[in-house]
Amino acid sequence: MTTNLKTFTIIPGLNMGLLAPRELGVIVAILNKYAVPMAKITPAQRLALLGLDESKYEQIKAELKPLTRPASANDLDYVHACPGSQWCKFGISDSLALGARLEQLSLAAPLPAKVKVGISGCRMSCAGPYVRDVGIFATKKGWTLVFGGNGGGNPRLGDIVAEGLSDDQVVDLVRKCLTVYQQQAKYKSRTARFMERFGIDALKAAVL
């Protein structure tokens, strides 16, 4: 069978893009075993298998499953966190620890559309918090929470909801913002379009 170079598939949930050397070695061994022509880490920190022989997909997916995080039932699409204070000399706060907590966030019902989270451990904002549905970045006074950003074909800078937050306050406030979005947004409307309609003042009144 000739491989179609335009075929690809996405393996979700690489746990904020973190890979121990052992895990990376396992992935390389699996891709070599099935002769996958090319692999790419996507901006959403998923693993894209390019030029894949589709007959091998289920086998590869099964072997990679132990290394991946199941997709959220509530459409929390992914959490993108920079190395933060644990690994980066510029990091003020531990973005990876906060990201791990948000990956576990569970809501009562599905969200209207996918939600992307970006967490940066300093003001340099390497994780693009202002263009994420939920954006968080650290300052010396604590975390700043931004909501309603989008970096796609119709970009929008998110609105600052609150500043000087602790980890616990961020998690609580993210849950509140997503609950309002869940209750008030139209189906399939991303947070950027929702905030254009709803407005930051109304959101603050509802969550603060």
- Report CA 177 to chain centroid distance, whole Å: 16
Question: Which of 41-50, 149-158, 177-186, 197-206 shows the lowest mean pLDDT across its residues?
Answer: 41-50
For the stretch 65-92, pLDDT in tens is: 887 776 665 667 889 999 999 999 999 9
Question: What is the pLDDT at residue 181?
Answer: 97
pLDDT at 3 over 60: no
pLDDT band for position 96 (cuts 50, 70, 90): very high
pLDDT at 8 over 50: yes
Per the CB < 8 A criterion, the answer to whether 150 and 190 are in contact is yes
Task: State the Cα–Cα distance between residues 180 and 115, nearest whole angstrom.
Answer: 13
For the stretch 112-160, pLDDT in tens is: 999 999 999 999 999 999 999 999 999 999 999 999 999 989 999 999 9
Find, among 153, 149, 99, the residue nearest to 121 by Cα. Answer: 99
Of residues 125 and 49, more confidently modeled: 125
The CB-based long-range contact list for 19-27 (8 Å cut-off, 24+ gap) reads 19/67, 23/67, 26/67, 27/64, 27/67
Percent of the chain exceeding pLDDT 90 equals: 63
pLDDT band for position 2 (cuts 50, 70, 90): very low
Question: What is the pLDDT at residue 51?
Answer: 87
Helix (H) or strand (E) holding 180: helix 167-184
Mean pLDDT highest for which of 22-31, 58-67, 136-145? 136-145
Question: What is the pLDDT at residue 1?
Answer: 39
Provide the CATH number for the domain formed by 76-207 in this structure: 3.30.413.10
Task: State the Cα–Cα distance between residues 150 and 153, nearest whole angstrom.
Answer: 9
Bridge partners of residue 191, in order along the sequence: none
What ranges do the domains of the chain cover? 8-67, 76-207
Question: What is the pLDDT at residue 5?
Answer: 61
